[in-house]
Amino acid sequence: MDNDRIRENELRQMEEIRELDLEELQVEEADGESEEEEEEEEDEEFSSEYGGGDSSDGEFTFDTCLPSLHSYLGDVEDTRGRVSFLDGGAVLCLPMFYLEGVVLFPEATLPLRVIQPRYKASVEKAMRQDTSFIIGVVRVYQRRGDTRRYCSEVGTTAEIRQYRRLQDGSLNVVTRGQQRFRLRRMWVDSDRTPMAEVQIIEEDKPLRTPKDAFGSLASIGCSRSSQVNLCGGSHGTSSTTWLQPEEINDLDHIYDSVTESDDSIYDMESHYASADSSGDNGGNGADASEDNGSNREFTSSDDEPKLRSLGNRKRGTCKARSVRAVLLPDKPRVRAWAADDPKWSHRAPRAFWPHWVYRMYDAFSLARRAADMWKEIVGVSNLDVLTRKPDMLSFHIGSKMPISESTRQELLEIDGTSYRLRREIELLEHFDTVRCKSCLSVIAKRSDSLVMSRDGPLNAYANPHGYVHEVMTLNNACGLALAGSPQREHSWFPGYAWTIAYCATCGLTTNMGWFFTAIDRNLRPKAFWGIRSSQVADEIL
C-alpha cells in the first residue's frame, strides 16, 4: 500500500513538472517570436530609411547551389550538341546576341529568356547546326550624352547547353561561354536573324620562367638580389627594411639602362635568357642562337643597374603596367606569392635578369598571386586547381570580379594571359569601394562582398521580360532607397523576396538593383543587396 501511494505521488509530481515545463516553453516561444518580429520590423524600417541591410548575424544557411541552377527559368532540357572548340584565327558566321550590360567570359554561364523575334531566330538557327549549338555574344553600350548604341570589338562564343520552348512562344536558354572572338562585320539575314562574321582569337600559351635561367643552389649570396634595401643596413641588422619585388612602386626608378628592343616582351626565354655573357652553353647558348638577331648589348656600371620601362609594352588593347602593392590595412598580406622568394634568393642566375623580373610575366606565378588575393577579398572559393591553368583562372576572376561592366570588358579584350592577370591583380589591390555610375556616391565597400552563389559574387540573371542583369551581391549598402513592396515571384534566389532599390542621390532615375529579404525566418542571411554592375562607376587607376 505504502509503495503504491509513493508511486502515485511520484507520478503526480512528474506530471506537474511536465506541465510547468510546457508552460515555460510556450512562454519562451512566444517571447522569441515577438523578439524576432520586432527585429524584423526594425530591419525593415532601417532598410527603408537608410538603404542598408545586415546579413552578418546568425549562421549562413542558404544553399549557394540554387542560384547557379537558374530554376526561375522553369524546366529546361539538356541539348544533344557536342562541345567543339574552333582553331585560333578561324573565320565563321554566327547568329548573334547583342546584349546591354553583359560581358560574357569563356566558361561563364549566361541564362537567357528569349522574347524578341530576332533573338528567337538566332537561337533557332543555332539549334539547326549539326554539331554544337553556338551563338555569338557581344556587349552593347551607350556613351555618356549619346543616344546611339555601340558594339564592343571583342565578344565570346556561347554554346547552348539547355533549351525549352514555352507555350507563349518564348524560349528559356542556358548557355556557357567558350572562346573569344573579334567582330569583323555585322548584318541582318533575310529571316531577320542578326548575323556577324567573327574571327576566333588564338589564346597564347601561358609563359613560365625558363628552367635554364637559374642554376642550382648557390654557395654564396648573389649580387643580383631580389630584394631592395631601403635603410642601407646589412642583412643582419634589425633596422633594415627589405622590399619584395611586388612592393616596388615603379620599375622606372630602378632600371633604365637597357637598350630598347622591338621584340615582344612575351618571348621571355629568347629575349631575356640570352643576355648572360658568361658563355654557359647549358644556360644561354641555345637561346642566343635562336634569337634571330634580337640580341642586344647590355652596359653595366658601378651604379645601381636600371631597366627601362618594362611596363610600356603594348599587346592587343591593353598596356602592361607595373603592379603596385597598395595593401589596405584591414587585409593581411598575401603570403603565397612571397613564400616562393626564399627558394629563388639562393639560386645562381644564369641570365642578366633577377628572378622577380621573370615572375612579373610568369603566368603561373601571377596566377598563384591572383588566386590568393581573390580568396582574401571574397572570403571563399578555392582556386588551387585553376592556378595550373592561368588562362582559365584569368577568365574566371575577370567574370566574377565585382566591378563595372566596362572594366570587365577591358579585361576580356586583353590579349595575353600574363597581361590580363597583371591587370586583375592591379584591380584587386585597388578595389575598395562601389560607387554609383551617375553621381559617384559610395554605395558599399569591398568588405561588403557576399557570395550567394557557388559561381562567385557576381553572376548574370534573366528577368521575365527578357533582360539580362549582371548582379553583384553585397552584405550591406548605403545611399539607396527602396520602392514598392517585396515580391516573391521570379526571384533569382529561392526563399527570398525582392524590392527595387534606387540611388537616393539620383532619385528614381537610377535603378541600382534590388534588396532581397528572407521569407523563411530560419534562412540566413536575413537580407542582402543585389547591385547591377552596369550602374557601377568605372575604376580609375
What is the full per-residue pLDDT of the chain (541 aa) written as tens digits? Answer: 555 555 566 556 556 555 645 554 454 444 444 544 544 444 444 344 434 444 445 588 999 999 999 999 988 888 876 677 899 999 999 999 999 999 999 999 999 999 999 999 999 999 998 778 999 999 999 888 888 999 999 999 999 999 999 999 999 999 999 999 999 999 999 999 999 999 999 999 887 776 666 665 544 444 444 444 444 443 444 333 344 444 433 333 333 333 333 333 334 444 333 434 344 444 433 333 334 333 333 333 333 333 333 333 334 444 433 333 333 344 444 455 555 555 555 565 666 667 667 778 889 989 999 999 998 877 766 788 888 999 999 999 999 998 999 999 999 999 999 999 999 999 999 888 999 998 999 999 988 999 999 888 999 999 999 999 999 999 999 999 999 999 999 999 999 999 999 999 988 778 999 999 999 989 999 999 999 999 999 875 5
Residue type, 389: K
Give the per-residue pLDDT at 230.
Answer: 40
Which cell numbers in the block locate residue 289?
Answer: 642562337
Which cell numbers in the block locate residue 474?
Answer: 553585397
DSSP string, 472-491: EEES---SEEEEEEEE-TT-
Give the per-residue pLDDT at 76.
Answer: 87
Give the contacts of 86 (CB within 8 A, at least 6 positions apart).
Answer: 92, 157, 179, 200
Closest CA to 312 of 363, 365, 353, 252: 252
What H or E segment, with its residue span, contains residue 67? helix 65-69
Give the per-residue pLDDT at 507.
Answer: 82
C-beta of residue 465 within 8 angstroms of C-beta of residue 32: no
Which cell numbers in the block locate residue 364?
Answer: 603561373
Q: Return left, alpha or beta for 87; rule: phi > 0 is left, psi -120 to 50 is alpha, else beta.
A: beta
Report CA 333 to chain centroid distance, whole Å: 20
C-beta of residue 492 within 8 angstroms of C-beta of residue 62: no
Give the per-residue pLDDT at 375.
Answer: 86
Residue type, 346: H
What H or E segment, with its residue span, contains residue 181? strand 171-188
Give the per-residue pLDDT at 245.
Answer: 42
Residue 198 to residue 107: CA distance in whole angstroms: 19
**What sign does the CA torsion over 23, 27, 33, 36 have?**
negative
